[in-house]
Amino acid sequence: MKPSLAKGTRDFTAQEVSRRKYIINILQNNFQLFGFQPLETPSFENLSTLTGKYGEEGDRLIFKILNSSINEAKEDKKTQMLTDFQKALDKPFSSESLTDKALRYDLTVPFARFVAMNHGQLTFPYKRYQIQPVWRADRPQKGRFREFYQCDADVVGSESLLQEVELIQLYLKSFSDLKVSVTIHVNNRKILSGLAEYAGITDKLIDFTVALDKLDKIGKDGVIKELLERGISPESIDKLDFLFSQSDDALENLLQLKEKFVGNEIGLKGVEELEFVLTQSLSLGVDLQNLVFDITLARGLDYYTGAIFEVKADEAQMGSIGGGGRYDNLTAVFGVKNIPGIGISFGLDRIYLVMEELGLFPEEAASKVEYLFANFGGEETLEALKLIIQLRAKGISAELYPESAKINKQFTYAEKKGIKNLVFLGEEEIKNRTVTFKNLEAGEQKTVSLEEFLG
């Protein structure tokens, strides 16, 4: 059998793993600086937990798990069940006899499920961060995978808009630490509801937001075409035409909305909330060039109720590398009301691609062995192993070449692995209590006392 990878998945080499850990360590440090605590949830959830939370398009991308009862069934029944399963592939799943579990689509819904199950034991506001893989049955392309990591920070149990301001600070500090220049696009779901009311399409809110969210991918004409296909009238679309010609001044755009939203309670509430977040952020030194009011930003998740965020890299052609928003009703679907929440996500895989493209990984982000001890066999090997144990006790990485091979072969091994120093501990060094080593990067070789070598 020819080995192959499933589409949309990847193997990670030692360098890639080390660089990913570099990103994760920076994010994790910042999460903790901002008061978030770690949480992990299972890789798969009950299908009912996930469906109906991500919109029609999102639900289609959920990886469903074939019910284990099929495998346990007798052969004749199994054949019929698999036939039914094959027929169901071309339409939405509705039979729990085929599947009742699914791989998690994101980290937010499982988090809301956790909060609903444990709210009596949590201290609110409850702040958690979570760094785990998620799965989506998407079409693989650059920066889009079927298995990828999300790094989330969420706060539940607080309606304060200062949470939005804090999360903007968390975004900016984290990307500053990663040396990635970004722009945070912000909007408010209430503004989108206000726009739907303004255009007389309140009953088409989801259709409106799903189409609008694709503006950067399909352009104005594509959005208009999709709005028409979704049953939105040309007259309503004409009323919304101003959305496609916003000025660069966020506060000026909000003022324009206030004029259009006279008597539009939900729209004015959205403007008021966003205005607070923007002005507070500006007061804390955030540059409006890094924080942009994007009135067309919708994000296709049905559970957002307030602020919406999307982060884009300034110097690389890549989709969003972060996103999030407020979701004040998500735990209610699990029977627990009145637990408002807001959260943001960092897209680890896309951040990696941006940093790789821009050459932003420091040399220390690569995992390299400090010392390789040449293997001369006999007593020298045992003495080398004793010295290696002492180095490792000091937290210094070291290894012994496993066989007493020609020195050129050992040199080649060290160079290919990117090992910094090749150590020679021969009969003469053991006798004189010295160590000879060659720095393979500088090409310099020297002999030092054993005490000096161990520091």
Give the pLDDT of residue 175: 98
Cβ atoms of 430 and 380 closer than 8 Å? yes
Chain segment 228-244, per-residue pLDDT in tens: 999 999 999 999 998 88
Cα–Cα distance for residue pair 417/405, rounded to 1 Å: 17
Q: Per residue in 339-352, is it b (16+ CB within 10 Å) or e — as a string?
A: bbbbbbbbbbbbbb
**204 has a pLDDT exceeding 70:** yes
- Every domain of the chain and the residues it spans: 14-358, 368-454
**299 has a pLDDT exceeding 80:** no
**32 has a pLDDT exceeding 80:** yes
Class of domain 14-358: alpha beta
The CATH number of 368-454, from 1.10.10.10, 3.40.50.800, 3.40.640.10, 3.40.50.300, is: 3.40.50.800
Chain segment 349-383, per-residue pLDDT in tens: 999 999 999 999 998 777 789 999 999 998 999 99
**421 has a pLDDT exceeding 80:** yes
Give the pLDDT of residue 95: 47
Give the pLDDT of residue 56: 81
Q: What number is the average pLDDT over the span 304-321?
A: 94
Give me the residues paired with residue 154 across strands: 128, 343
To the nearest whole percent, how much of the chain has pLDDT over 90? 74
pLDDT higher for 277 or 82? Answer: 277
| Sign of the CA dihedral running 166, 171, 177, 181 | negative
Q: What number is the average pLDDT over the span 334-338?
A: 94
Give the pLDDT of residue 436: 96
Chain segment 241-298, per-residue pLDDT in tens: 988 888 888 888 899 999 999 999 999 999 999 999 999 999 999 988 899 999 889 8
Residue 168's pLDDT band (boundaries 50, 70, 90)? very high
Assess whether the region 14-358 and the region 368-454 belong to the same CATH fold.
no
Cβ atoms of 132 and 150 closer than 8 Å? yes
**385 has a pLDDT exceeding 80:** yes
Catalogue the E-assigned strands of 182-234: 182-188
Give the pLDDT of residue 74: 56
Give the pLDDT of residue 263: 93
Give the pLDDT of residue 97: 55
**179 has a pLDDT exceeding 60:** yes
Which of 40-44, 201-205, 213-217, 228-232 shows the lowest per-residue confidence on average (mean pLDDT)? Answer: 213-217
- Max Cα separation, the chain? 93
Residue 438's pLDDT band (boundaries 50, 70, 90)? very high
Q: What number is the average pLDDT over the span 398-413?
A: 94
Cβ atoms of 236 and 200 closer than 8 Å? yes
3-state secondary structure of 185: strand
Mean pLDDT score of the chain, rounded to an integer?
90
Give the pLDDT of residue 384: 96
Give the pLDDT of residue 93: 43
**210 has a pLDDT exceeding 90:** no
